[in-house]
Amino acid sequence: MNTNMKVLVVDDFSTMRRIIKNLLRDLGFTNVQEADDGATALPMLQNGDFEFVVTDWNMPGMQGIDLLRAIRADDRLKHIPVLMVTAEAKKEQIIAAAQAGVNGYIVKPFTAATLKEKLEKVFERLG
Amino acid sequence: MSSKIPYISLEMAKDLVTLLEQGDIDAANLIVEECSKAASEELFAEVGKLTRQLHDSLQDFQLDSRIANLANEDIPDAQNRLAYVIEMTENAANKTMDAVEASIPVAENLSSNIKTVIPSWDKLMSRQISLQEFKELCYSVDDILKKVDGDSDQLRVHLNEVLMAQDFQDLTGQVIRRVIDLVREVEDNLIHLLTVFGSPPETLIEEEKSKSGLNEKAEGPIIDAEERADVVSDQDDVDDLLSSLGF
């Protein structure tokens, strides 16, 4: 796992961004930036060299699922792995996220161990 | 014969027939007017009564100051209260994270200080230490002990901050309980309204259901996952579902 990669954390609650940032730092990821919804995140992704996105689903403005679809629809971004960390727990939503090309799905509340496990799995699969 | 009183008495009817036979139209019309007056008076009285009832219930409805209060004061007040809950929980989360973030370097320092003396300490324990090294070890241990004393005080302060940050629970609990009471009252009033004005046709309700039903719309945290078949209850469920999809 290359922990030097640039990571974007997207969540409308600053406390959740802070928690994820802290957990990522604990796992060695120090190059982490934040956005408060999909509409803020997308231009950041288009202008920056991000290699990983952690996003919430339910946000004002652009929702996480739409951000995921926008990333997959953009030729320059579609390779970026996306991990969803969300309270949304309907089976249909998880299926929709899988169909949209999500790389991992974590339901809140979650533990540090879950985040670590899913992150490792995402990068293991990508090789 | 029923006990109903006819609009026209037998005598008057006979008079009417006689007058019509005699061709006295004016007098005959007078009798007819007289009779229909009784009937229409009853009708007017009934309409009047209904009007008064309608007026009274509308008046009651407007005068029910509780409903006006609910709409004008209590619901905006509840919005403020819930905003206060968000603010309180956010502050608590930030205070806790401040304390944790301040504690992490203290813990890291502690660990790295101890790691630096462990090699010399091991030598001491296995009696393989030189006098010079022993002297250095003594100074290092002395230094660490003093630092640890200060650091542990600092950690205690931070832990205390974490503890105190939990004081929101009591306050937000009270606020949320009041909002729950308000929601219950609004529910009661809505039910009352529905019983007064009738409920919408079933078909409308059905249509609403299918409109908001099967989709991937965001719903927020699920609080009754055990009772629902359309949601996952934990991360294991998510993993199972995803692996069934070939993930």
CATH code at B168?
A: 1.10.287.500
Q: Please provide the average confidence, as pLDDT, over all residues in chain A.
A: 94
Does residue B3 surpass a pLDDT of 70? no
Residue B86: inside a domain:
yes
Average pLDDT over residues A63-91: 95
Cα distance between residue A25 and residue A32, in whole Å: 8
Q: Which of the residue ranges A34-48, A51-65, B190-204 would you say has the lowest mean pLDDT?
A: B190-204
Q: How many CB pairs under 8 A join A and B?
A: 69
Q: Which domains does chain A have, with CATH numbers?
A: 7-126 (3.40.50.2300)
Average pLDDT over residues B15-31: 88
Residue B118: inside a domain:
yes
Cα distance between residue A31 and residue B124, in whole Å: 42
Residue B131: inside a domain:
yes
- In this structure, are B95 and B163 located in the same domain? yes
Q: Is A30 on the interface with B (CB under 8 A)?
A: no
Last residue of a domain, one of B19, B40, B62: B62
B2 — pLDDT class (breaks 50, 70, 90)? low
pLDDT on residue B204: 61
The minimal CB distance from A98 to the residues B220, B230, B247 is found for B247
Q: Per-residue pLDDT tens for B97-113?
A: 999 999 999 999 999 99
Does residue B70 surpass a pLDDT of 70? yes
Give how far A50 is from chain B: nearest CA, Å: 24
- In this structure, are B74 and B14 located in the same domain? no
Which residues does chain B have within 8 Å of residue A65's beta carbon, measured at their own beta carbons?
Answer: 216
DSSP conformation letters of B179-246: HHHHHHHHHHHHHHHHHHH-PPPHHHHHHHHHHHSSS-------S-GGG-SSB--SHHHHHHHHHHTT
Residue B233: inside a domain:
no
Residue B235: inside a domain:
no
Does residue B212 surpass a pLDDT of 50? no
C-alpha torsion A10→A13→A19→A20, nearest 10 = -10
Q: Is A94 on the interface with B (CB under 8 A)?
A: yes
Does residue B169 surpass a pLDDT of 60? yes
Average pLDDT over residues A12-36: 92
Note down the domain range covering B72: 65-196
The minimal CB distance from A96 to the residues B216, B219, B234 is found for B216
B215 — pLDDT class (breaks 50, 70, 90)? low
B200 — pLDDT class (breaks 50, 70, 90)? low
A105/B242 touch (CB, cutoff 8 Å), yes or no: yes
Give how far B91 is from chain A: nearest CA, Å: 9
Cα distance between residue B242 and residue B247, in whole Å: 5
Question: What sign for the dihedral angle of Cα B13, B17, B20, B22?
Answer: negative
- In this structure, are B111 and B87 located in the same domain? yes
B193 — pLDDT class (breaks 50, 70, 90)? confident
Q: Per-residue pLDDT tens for A48-75?
A: 899 999 999 999 999 999 999 999 999 9
B97/A92 touch (CB, cutoff 8 Å), yes or no: no
- In this structure, are B93 and B131 located in the same domain? yes
pLDDT on residue B140: 93
- In this structure, are B81 and B31 located in the same domain? no
- In this structure, are B41 and B133 located in the same domain? no
Average pLDDT over residues A40-48: 95
- In this structure, are B17 and B79 located in the same domain? no
Which residues does chain B have within 8 Å of residue A93's beta carbon, measured at their own beta carbons?
Answer: 216, 218
A92/B245 touch (CB, cutoff 8 Å), yes or no: no
pLDDT on residue B213: 46
- In this structure, are B74 and B162 located in the same domain? yes
- In this structure, are B35 and B120 located in the same domain? no
Q: Is A14 on the interface with B (CB under 8 A)?
A: yes
Residue B3: inside a domain:
no
Domain count, chain B: 2
Please indicate whether residue B53 or residue A10 has the higher confidence score (pLDDT): A10
Beta-bridge mates of residue A107: A86
Percent of chain B with pLDDT over 90: 41
Residue B28: inside a domain:
yes
B246 — pLDDT class (breaks 50, 70, 90)? confident
Does residue B214 surpass a pLDDT of 60? no
Q: Please provide the average confidence, as pLDDT, over all residues in chain B.
A: 85
- In this structure, are B50 and B70 located in the same domain? no
B159 — pLDDT class (breaks 50, 70, 90)? very high
Q: Is A57 on the interface with B (CB under 8 A)?
A: yes
A95/B219 touch (CB, cutoff 8 Å), yes or no: no
| Helix residue ranges, H only, A27-111 | 38-47, 64-73, 91-100
Residue B239: inside a domain:
no
- In this structure, are B52 and B168 located in the same domain? no
Beta-bridge mates of residue A106: A85
- Strands A82-86 vs A52-55: parallel, antiparallel or unpaired: parallel
Give how far A5 is from chain B: nearest CA, Å: 23
Query: Looking at this predicted complex, what is its ipTM?
Result: 0.85
Give how far A90 is from chain B: nearest CA, Å: 4
- In this structure, are B147 and B47 located in the same domain? no
Last residue of a domain, one of B161, B181, B196: B196
